[in-house]
Amino acid sequence: MARVFVTGSADGLGLLAARSLVGSGHEVVLHARNPTRAEDTRKRLPAARGVVVGDLASLAQTRGVAEQANRLGPYDAIIHNAGVGYQEPRTQTEDGLPRVFEVNVLSFYVLTALVQRPKRLVYLSSGMHHGADASLEDMDWRKRRWRGAAAYAESKLCDVLLAFAVARHWPTVFSNAVDPGWVPTRMGGPSAPDHIEDGYRTQVWLAASDDPAALVSGEHFYHLRPKEPDPATRDIERQEKLLEICRRFSGVALDPAS
């Protein structure tokens, strides 16, 4: 039995992944944005070990999520599933950052740094990361005219960069990125062409399977198979640049020790 923490698990792929893990006999800790959603989440999956509460668009609340998660840990795996989509308007958080970046990237970094290190880490990306601006310039969108789809694509490229950076820095941890495909969730919409089961199976497999193919690190997966990511994500200097940007914005340092 594995103990798994799944962020963004009040609905969508996160909840489906959590339900699948519980159904296979694993112990799961859920995450919801606020107390109302947390109560709904408990009702949806009462067999879960617990629900931590906090809005990942706030650095203070993300720190609180880490503290709550640590009280319910340690974990064999953490799935970083939380996210906001490509139709997001320009919304600035209390920390002065675009909500897309803070939720989709910075929260993953902060939770990675502050939650006790698991054996496996899974970061959800998107096929939209291919061809995204990989310069990592103006990540707070102060100089550019806002484009929600571009901001989302950049955030998903950053998630792959983060997964690969962690894989290098923490060689005892299996750290990978997953493109769940275009599936009919609230974010993906009802006309999405991929099957909903394909959207969560790979993250569940990477989090809990003993299949040798899942026991790897620094890879990008799509529907249970490795899929080469945008070449920019393999650039070590770019990975390190992202870590420094996240450290600067959050005030949290990622332990580089192996």
Positions annotated as catalytic residues are: 152, 156
Q: What is the DSSP string of 132-148?
A: ---S--STT-SSS---H
- Report which of 50, 59, 60, 2 is spatially closest to residue 26, judged by C-alpha positions: 2
Hey, what are 204's tokens?
A: 């569940």
CA–CA separation, 246 and 202 (whole Å): 27
d(CA 247, CA 75) in angstroms, rounded, equals 24
Cα separation, 158 vs 104, whole angstroms: 9
What's the first-to-final CA gap in the chain, in angstroms?
Answer: 26
The whole-angstrom separation of Cα 101 and Cα 59 is 12
| Cβ–Cβ under 8 Å, residues 30 and 7 | no
CB 196 within 8 A of CB 183: yes
DSSP 103: I
